[in-house]
Amino acid sequence: MTLACVPVKKAARSARLWRALLVFVLLLGLTAPVTATPNAQTNTPEGKARQLLAEMTPRERVGQLFLVTFEGPTVADKSAIYQLITAGHVGGVVLSRENNNFTDQEDVVAAAYQLTSQLQQTEWAAANPIGETPANGAYVPLLIGISQEGDSYPYDQILSGLTTLPSQMAIGATWNTDLAQQVGSLQGKELEALGFNFLLGPSLDVLDPLYSSGSQDLGVRSFGGDPYWVAEMSKAYIQGLHEGSQSRLAVIAAHFPGRGSADRSPETEIATVRKSLDELKDFELEPYFAVSSQAPDSGTMTDGMLVSHIRYGIQGNIRDATRPVSFDQNALSLILQLPEFSIWRENGGLMVSDNLGSASVRRFFDPSNTSFDARQVARSAFLAGNDLLYVNNFISSDDPDQYTTITRTLDFFALRYQQDAVFAQQVDASVERILTLKFRLYPEFDLDQVLSEGSGLAGINQGSGLVFEVARQAAALISPAQTELQAILPSQPQASDRIVFFTDVLTGRQCSNCVDTTAPSASEFQETILRLYGTQTGGSITRARLTSYSFLDLLLYLNQNQDAPDIEGALSMANWVVVALLDADPDRPTSLAFQRLLSERPELLRNKNVVVFAFNAPYDLDATDITKLSAYYAMYSKGPEFVDVAARLLFQDLSPGSALPVSVPGIGYDLFTATTPNPNQTIPLSLDLPEPEPASELVTPEPTPIPTFKIGEVLPLKTGIIYDHNGHIVPDGTVVRFMFTVGAETDVVQTVEATTQNGIARASYHIDRQGLLEISVISEPAYNSDRLRLDVAEDSGAVITAIVPTASPTATLTPSATPTPEPTPIPTQALPPLPPRAKTGDWVVSVAAVLGLAALAVWLGMRLASARWGLRWGLCMAIGGLAAYNYIALDLPGSQVVVGQGGTAGILLVSLGGVALGAIAAWVWRSVERRDKGDKAG
């Protein structure tokens, strides 16, 4: 109701009614939040966790801190794992090949699902005994974890039945975050269908080229060697894991705070990374920042981080006795207190220790292998800041088995909880984080909600097409350059050619009693070529002209073993030699057999087409080795789809189009240089103006005015996307310099330094003088850019007179002398139109309609009621209509939508709406007045 239409004097009864109504509304508004807040807090995962924590005993609380392992594929009644679940109240379990949790039976997937279900049912039965009052506390679902890194053996735990996913480096080599998300979604879907809710991965490590050698580095277990791209791939992969599992899979990013620069494998000995905190922030920690407090949404945020057993330079003078960061409270706290982690940690981010029973931990705490005290090791790891303690092969020197050690450790923790208030407080904080995570996975702790539906197993192992696409996009030609390949290999293998294959074979088992499996097999490359190009499928390649050997055969030949096959005879007749490389590992001599052939018997390969495919890390061959090859390809994974793509590359049905995601010293490829700006590009430059709103079909767009800027105003600027040497956007943080010259000066008078975000840099310039202003940018080593030229006049302001692509200043920031081109108009699509507003014609139409209706109301009111009420009626309608029009004319919120989409008709409808509200207000006014008069008469 318009205030002008409210009567000044009201009857006492009416006033009392209005006051009562006002008091009721105020009371309702004040009480509503008080009654709603507790329920809202309780219904959050955090609230539910706090409520459940308050109901748990000390033994139940400390049990939640432990992530245990056990032997075998079943949960037998009264077995060790049964007792740890029902009496120990452990927080979760981790399943692995090492502990024979999976078998090589025909349906390993169904067996794995049955095992995870049995584990959850054991916990449920303990909390809900049949025919008894629950005596063991509330049901708390188990975390059931697995490490399934991709690329099959040795880093997958389940070797068959699931899609053989590509390695992380293969995913990183696509430079395609959409593919990373799709692979993550595939893995999340498959693991959730099997009943897993806790993934120890992916690895967020950034490979440092200084430490990428032999068996000491991560190899293909990382997305690559650039922090920005590892972060981008990690975000996409984690988002896929969450989406594919329908947010029922906790993701634990490994190996915090980064092992890409470790000097040795931390699985066998405590490794060292001699980097300061600033160096870690610039390299190792960037991917972890991206998936914690800096994550754009909860989908890309990791649920926890796996803390590695590594020493870092932040710990001061590192000695042999210096504890790894996983056991150093000061060092781990220093990292977690960084702003990039603090918010994530406050919101329940979980820290998970790496295996406390690993060889490296035992070697550090018990060098003589005689006095390993598991209880003190667990206590040290917990006090350092780990919330969840992963224990495998966790046996004290004086204990007979792991079950005894874990039970005694649980007793030790429970006793400390009761005796030490500070220790109890830290336990409660960690358990609250663990319970919060579980409530995020399962809003209700009910067995039917926790168990995966068995029907989901039917959709498993259906991702071969996606894996093939990853293989196709990841494949890269390491040597020679693509432009030189045609001269070296002018054609594919012909029907008359003989091909000899050498394949490095890895042999592993699903369990200790299972049969051996090979990945790849010695003849897999040969069989793939026959399937694709053999005579049975319309090709010309015959089996008789193909010969396959394993690296073991080659090693026997080089060692002059009497059982060696006649490799020299086969090579003498061969036209082509095709080699399938895996990681070169000094601990596995067969993996070095081909490098020995290159150095010891190079004459056997002379005048032959030698084509090598690296199915794991692409940097194991040195420069001399590579000179002896016709072609050297990077494939990164050894699954069947990657062998398929390799065969198509050999027969030139596919062309490798990707770029290497890691440095390869053998060809002088440095990833840092490759990800700097491409010097051959012209960097776009424009004003940084708001994007224009989409034009309505009902409104004819007006010509875009050319913006002007006066002295004293700020000129907003931005570059277009800047690309690196590989054709991808440059990493975030790439330095860009905006350079400004004024008038006839030839030197740069001001430089503004900015950094890129998503490939684009932004800056602003304060206009402080008149004359010709010229702006350009450089991002070393890219010195070419568009140039903006503005003519700054004292009165009329600065007007853009030209945008011209021309050579920018050199690295000394001295502009090159170039002729001034004729001014060209700025493209109109680069500038947004002014926001739509009401025009004079709209005012005339609206006011005429409002006043006309108001006059009609005056006339009708005088005839039907009285002159006084006729004027009141007309006045209320006029005020309502004009107020509505003014709302549009003053460009208040929502008005641009009305003008832009409705035009004059829209404005008129809004004004008539105001008239209607005025008429209603007048009617209410008259009704109240008539009622008051009736009350007085009574």
pLDDT tens profile 145-167: 999 999 999 999 999 999 999 99
Q: How would you class 31 by CB atoms within 10 Å of its CB: exposed for 0-12, middle for 13-18, buried for 19 or more?
A: exposed
pTM for this prediction: 0.81
pLDDT over 80 at 92, yes or no: yes
CB 353 within 8 A of CB 308: no
Q: How far is CA 54 from CA 399, 471, 512, in A?
A: 34, 51, 44
Give 903 or 206, the one with higher predicted confidence.
Answer: 206
Instruction: Dump the DSSP string for 176-215.
Output: -HHHHHHHHHHHHHHHHHHT--EEEEEE--B--GGG--GG
Q: How would you class 581 by CB atoms within 10 Å of its CB: exposed for 0-12, middle for 13-18, buried for 19 or more?
A: buried
Between CA 583 and CA 505 the distance in angstroms is: 11
pLDDT on residue 104: 79
Task: Kindly report the average pLDDT of the chain as a whole number.
Answer: 86
pLDDT on residue 914: 76
Between CA 252 and CA 92 the distance in angstroms is: 14
Instruction: Dump the DSSP string for 373-409.
Output: -HHHHHHHHHHHT-SBEE-SS---TT-SSHHHHHHHH
Average of pLDDT values for 585-604? 96
Between CA 359 and CA 352 the distance in angstroms is: 18
Q: Which two tokens stand for residue 781?
A: 């080593």
Q: Tell me 828's DSSP state.
A: G
pLDDT on residue 845: 74
CB 166 within 8 A of CB 470: yes
Nearest to 237 by CA among 157, 224, 142: 224
Q: Which two tokens stand for residue 708?
A: 């002007």
Read off the pLDDT of residues 422-458 as tens digits, 9 standing for 90 and up: 999 999 999 999 999 999 999 999 999 999 888 789 8
CB 310 within 8 A of CB 367: no
pLDDT over 80 at 870, yes or no: no
Q: Which two tokens stand for residue 422?
A: 């500070």
Q: Which residue has the tokens 């600027």?
A: 717
Average of pLDDT values for 647-665? 96
Give 666 or 834, the one with higher predicted confidence.
Answer: 666
Between CA 531 and CA 647 the distance in angstroms is: 10
Between CA 188 and CA 250 the distance in angstroms is: 10
Give 868 or 24, the one with higher predicted confidence.
Answer: 868
Give 767 or 622, the one with higher predicted confidence.
Answer: 622
Q: Which residue has the tokens 């610039």?
A: 282
pLDDT over 60 at 820, yes or no: no
The full length of the chain comes to 938
Q: Residue 192's beta-bridge partner residues?
A: none
Q: How far is CA 36 from CA 25, 45, 926, in A?
A: 17, 17, 40
Between CA 595 and CA 585 the distance in angstroms is: 12
Terminal CA-CA length for the chain: 29
Nearest to 138 by CA among 43, 195, 54: 54
Give every CB contact of residue 437 below 8 A, 6+ residues apart in sequence.
Answer: 45, 143, 250, 303, 304, 348, 350
Q: Residues of the chain with pLDDT > 70: what percent?
A: 84
Read off the pLDDT of residues 306-361 as tens digits, 9 standing for 90 and up: 999 999 999 888 898 899 999 999 999 999 999 999 999 999 999 999 999 999 99
Local confidence band at 773 (pLDDT 50, 70, 90 cut-offs): confident
